[in-house]
Structure 1
Amino acid sequence: MSEVWSFFAEPLGYAFMQRALLGAVLIGAVCSVLSCYLVLKGWSLMGDAISHAVLPGVVLSFVLGLPLAIGAFAAGLFCAVATGYLKENSRVKEDTVMGIVFSGMFGFGLVLFSKVETDQHLNHILFGNMLGMTPRDLVEVGIIAGITLLIVIAKWRDLLLYCFDPAQARAVGLPLSVIHYGLLVLLALTIVASIKAVGIILVVAMLIAPGATAYLLTNRFSRMLMIAAAVAIGSCVIGTLLSFHIDGATGPCIVLVQAFAFVLAFLFAPRHGVLAMRREQRPTA
């Protein structure tokens, strides 16, 4: 029992761990909510595209002396708009367009980074540095997460209808273009908030794993939101504490815990898990 208490209590004796855990809770909360919509909409690749595309914005912000979040958000928004424009004005499918746009912008960002003299470590941008969060970073993440959560809470029904049945949403008079680009803006904001924690490469796991896990465990969207939030926040906290005790990278530890939670749901979900489905398929006497 004392070992369990020490696992949680020892890290809390350090200020940097307190900031990391608070940041983990904020990031886990906002990622979990948006994750549910992305899973329903089938936008996993879109999250991956925008997360990679923010790199040139981060580098240019550093060169111009601007907050990195501004450049990251601008680059992410440009990626989303460019993807939509190319899809609407060419015969190329959306997933192909996203692959071209995000790989091109990511490559451009790497070239810029190699040509700019900076004390920023590339690994911190690619994989995050949760334990290095400053009070200013924490305030920044809190503002972005708060704005995103407030918008989603205010418009959750419209977003749900758009993701689940766009034809019905159009029939009832919802402005689909506004909702479409509004969801992309929220996605870009969430990615900007999460870069500090898990970096550009691993942020897609934060945006997909909680919603995918919850999707296996329930058929109701309200419960899906609560389960996703529990999985995301719990994984962020456990992963952060685990990284402290094993002296490992925080972002990958968080992602591993989320992946483990998904595997458990995949195997043991009451109705949708592999073991439950096999039991249902057994012939009865």
Structure 2
Amino acid sequence: MVEFVNDIFQYQFLQNAFIAGLLVSIACGIVGTYIVAKRLVFLSGGITHSSFGGIGIAYYLGLNPILGAFVFSVLSAMGIEFFADKTKMREDSAIGILWALGTAIGVIFVSMTPGYAPNLMSFLFGGLLGVTKVDLAVMLALDVVLLLLFIFGLRTILYIAFDKEFAISQNAAVKLVNYMMIILISVTIVMCIRVVGIILLIALLTIPVVTANIFYKDFKCIMVASIVLGFVGMLVGLYISFEVNLPSGAAIILAQSVIWLGCKGVEFLKKVKRS
């Protein structure tokens, strides 16, 4: 471990991965707490997998895949919110349709792309060690927006999220806030694709939050604890990936899962002692 820490200061790609792990942990801790508390995990999964459609189209057109994922994620999220709000379609049905449609579109356009798409695996399963300075700048910008929003607007966000009917009766900007949050969830998802990939991303948004919820019940405490737990899992996963030569995304989720199991074990032992 000491050698690994020394390598972080020696190699630029490890420094980028370390900083990315911190920035992603902040974003996932904030947004993930909101997702889990509001029970939007399935929605997040739908947005995540539909983003593959944007990646496939971007590959086919020779554009930046992350840009394609961003556009497709935001459109899918707004589409889900629109169908759920304006039509009689159930939200889970809209999510399921856009989930499958986005994935199918991605597969079709990737198969139509001439040659071989060498970086496709990193978008599916993550590649933390391949994070660039441009990626870090985008992550930092998103973190700043999220921190400012939740520091100064947390009361309003929670008020609308958990008492929607009363908020409507008080003429609160419910639709505006809902669309804003769904867009921020989409942007966070796209930002995290580089780290753990589309397949494993939903775990990164939920496992640290669920782990923090073992010890805390207050929204703010869960948010802060999930950021810390997420970063610890990132570091452990990065270390495993670097030392054992495993995919970084899978190693990070494995580390997060072990931390969750350990915390559940501690909770179980406390209950046994009390009884």
Q: Could you state the TM-score of these two structures normalised by the residue count of structure 1?
A: 0.88
Q: Determine if contact 2:233/2:252 at 8 Å carries over to the other structure.
A: yes
Aligned-partner Cα distance in 2 for 1:155–1:245: 42
Q: Do structure 1's residue 70 and structure 2's residue 67 form an aligned pair?
A: yes
Determine helix, strand or coil for the equivalent of 1:225: helix
Alignment match, 1:36: 33
What residue identity is the alignment partner of 1:76?
S
Q: Determine if contact 2:212/2:222 at 8 Å carries over to the other structure.
A: yes
Q: Report deviation, 1:250.
A: 0.6
Aligned-partner Cα distance in 2 for 1:169–1:264: 40
Q: Do structure 1's residue 58 and structure 2's residue 94 form an aligned pair?
A: no
**After alignment, is 156-165 or 143-152 more displaced?**
143-152
Give the direction of change, closer, same or farther, for the CA distance of 1:128–1:162 in structure 2 (3 Å limit): same
Aligned-partner Cα distance in 2 for 1:243–1:162: 41
Aligned positions of 1:1-285 closer than 5 A: 4-117=1-114, 118-269=116-267, 274-277=268-271, 282=275
In the TM superposition, what whole-angstrom CA distance separates every residue of 1:118-174 from its partner, at most 9, and x where no partner exists? 543321110111111222222233223333333333322222223333234334442
Q: Determine if contact 2:54/2:106 at 8 Å carries over to the other structure.
A: yes
Supply the RMSD in Å over aligned alpha carbons.
2.1
Q: How many residue pairs end up in the alignment?
A: 274
Q: Report deviation, 1:276.
A: 4.1
Q: Report deviation, 1:71.
A: 1.9
Q: Determine if contact 2:56/2:108 at 8 Å carries over to the other structure.
A: no
Q: Determine if contact 2:7/2:14 at 8 Å carries over to the other structure.
A: no
Q: Report deviation, 1:222.
A: 1.8
Aligned-partner Cα distance in 2 for 1:164–1:210: 22
What residue identity is the alignment partner of 2:39?
G
Identity %: 25
Aligned-partner Cα distance in 1 for 2:109–2:147: 33
What are structure 1's unaligned runs of at least 5 residues? Answer: none
Q: Report deviation, 1:267.
A: 3.1
Aligned-partner Cα distance in 1 for 2:236–2:177: 34
Aligned-partner Cα distance in 2 for 1:264–1:23: 25
What are structure 2's unaligned runs of at least 5 residues? Answer: none
Aligned-partner Cα distance in 1 for 2:197–2:111: 18
What residue identity is the alignment partner of 1:116?
T
Aligned-partner Cα distance in 2 for 1:49–1:278: 39
Q: Determine if contact 2:78/2:183 at 8 Å carries over to the other structure.
A: no
Q: Determine if contact 2:237/2:251 at 8 Å carries over to the other structure.
A: yes
Determine helix, strand or coil for the equivalent of 1:110: helix
Aligned-partner Cα distance in 2 for 1:7–1:63: 39
Give the direction of change, closer, same or farther, for the CA distance of 1:112–1:64 in structure 2 (3 Å limit): closer
**After alignment, is 33-42 or 159-168 more displaced?**
159-168
What residue identity is the alignment partner of 1:10?
D
Q: Report deviation, 1:101.
A: 1.3
What residue identity is the alignment partner of 2:20?
G
Q: Report deviation, 1:79.
A: 1.1
What residue identity is the alignment partner of 1:135?
K
What residue identity is the alignment partner of 2:245?
D
What residue identity is the alignment partner of 1:244?
F
**After alignment, is 237-246 or 9-18 more displaced?**
9-18
In the TM superposition, what whole-angstrom CA distance separates every residue of 1:186-243 from its partner, at most 9, and x where no partner exists? 0011011111111111111111112211222112122111101101111112211221
